[in-house]
A and B are shown apart, each in its own frame.
Chain A
Amino acid sequence: AQKVTQAQTEISVVEKEDVTLDCVYETRDTTYYLFWYKQPPSGELVFLIRRNSFDEQNEISGRYSWNFQKSTSSFNFTITASQVVDSAVYFCALSVRVTSYDKVIFGPGTSLSVIP
């Protein structure tokens, strides 16, 4: 079965705190892709990162960092020194092969509120 779990439904932090959003996925595929998207209150989906299953290097982009661990099927996302503009719903997603095309499966999302 293909599944993405984001156990944290809602998180509130005070501005400048660090926060980690958890993502656990399930797939039997050996080749797959993992994503994080942000959906701000305005509604659009903002692409944050894509990682393929063969690349376990962690990545840092400004205040954002991602920790991919195949051994635990996790792809966690950390925001350092959070800001009010980080308030949004964050979705972890898994892309797997279905016959001849990719299908993206989203987790339920984590709603992050950053309080000034």
Chain B
Amino acid sequence: DGGITQSPKYLFRKEGQNVTLSCEQNLNHDAMYWYRQDPGQGLRLIYYSQIVNDFQKGDIAEGYSVSREKKESFPLTVTSAQKNPTAFYLCASSPRVKAGNTIYFGEGSWLTVV
């Protein structure tokens, strides 16, 4: 089945550690996105990528890094510089970054700092 797969579903991080969240899509979409969702709040854009080997910062990129070496994959690293990383992280994709295009979401990953 076509879709977006995020892993792991749940992740615990010790303070000072970097962690990487995986996102893979088999929809042949050009554009991919990472959003952060805090309890009871909307989504905030961290990074997005329109094409392989290119990505752009969103509204809250500080403390995060991404790579886009393959069209299917857009991993997100939460670095130790991110002071409050506990949140629900959503990966998404769309055929391309274009007004009006539907964005499709993965199931999300819960990150907790312990």
| A and B together in one complex | no
